[in-house]
């Protein structure tokens, strides 16, 4: 596995779909994602000012990625905490899970946030997503809120 910074040429759609379909039920499709304004904001206009990410590849094929987007209080994402706190997204395709890819991606993105002076990263994790929650807890994310059946987690960057 190798990693590289994400660019505007990277297609975020399959990664957001992988994140949304964490149960491997494929309920989310390209079409329904784009028809839901709350979710579509995560892929529209990638890579705008303030977006950043890292992608993992094997044989030049994407196997997962971690990225962030910044939202505002007037147009918050699911894991919104503050205007200056980007929201982290993370996805690893099913065939590559439980191999350390997610941890490596998250660590690299947190290191980048620290290097860029980002004060914190937030995210939203659905109830029942035990593997993701275990990863976030072990990385130091703490619960700061709950919306519906999802917890909002925050990692302060030292």
pLDDT digits (tens, 9 = 90+) for 16-69: 878 877 776 777 776 876 787 777 777 788 888 889 999 999 998 899 999 999
**Per-residue pLDDT for 158 more than 80?**
no
- State yes or no: pLDDT of 149 exceeds 80: yes
- How high is the mean pLDDT of the chain? 88
Q: What sign does the CA torsion over 25, 29, 35, 39 have? A: positive
100 sits in the region (left: phi over 0; alpha: psi -120 to 50; else beta) called left
The per-residue pLDDT for 30 is 66
The reported pLDDT for the residue numbered 18 is: 80
- Cα separation, 9 vs 93, in Å, equals 19
What's the predicted TM-score (pTM) here?
0.87
Decide: 110 and 118 in contact? Cβ < 8 Å.
no
Please report which helix (H) or strand (E) contains residue 143, including its range: strand 142-147
Order across the sheet with 2-5: list the strands: 2-5, 52-58, 61-69, 87-92, 120-126, 150-156, 142-147
Q: So what's the pLDDT on residue 47?
A: 87
Confidence class for position 125, pLDDT limits 50, 70, 90: very high
Nearest one of 19, 111, 124, 132 to 65, comparing CA atoms = 19
> Mean pLDDT across the stretch 74-91?
90
pLDDT, mean of residues 103-130:
93
Domain residue ranges in the chain: 2-156
Domain 2-156 sits in CATH at 3.40.630.30
Question: Quick one: pLDDT at residue 136?
Answer: 94
Separation of alpha carbons 82 and 102, rounded Å: 25
């Amino acid at each position: 596995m190798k990693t590289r910074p994400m660019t505007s040429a990277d297609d975020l759609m399959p990664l957001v779909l992988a994140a949304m379909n964490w149960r491997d039920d494929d309920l989310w499709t390209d079409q329904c994602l784009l028809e839901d304004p709350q979710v579509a904001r995560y892929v529209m206009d990638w890579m705008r000012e303030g977006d950043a990410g890292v992608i993992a590849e094997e044989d030049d094929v994407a196997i997962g990625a971690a990225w962030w987007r910044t939202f505002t209080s007037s147009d918050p994402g699911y894991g919104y905490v503050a205007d200056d706190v980007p929201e982290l997204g993370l996805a690893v395709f099913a065939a590559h899970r439980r191999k350390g890819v997610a941890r490596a991606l998250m660590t690299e993105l947190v290191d980048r946030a620290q290097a860029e002076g980002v004060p914190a990263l937030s995210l939203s994790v659905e109830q029942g997503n035990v593997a993701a929650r275990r990863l976030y807890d072990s990385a130091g994310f703490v619960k700061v809120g709950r919306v519906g059946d999802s917890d909002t987690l925050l990692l302060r960057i030292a």
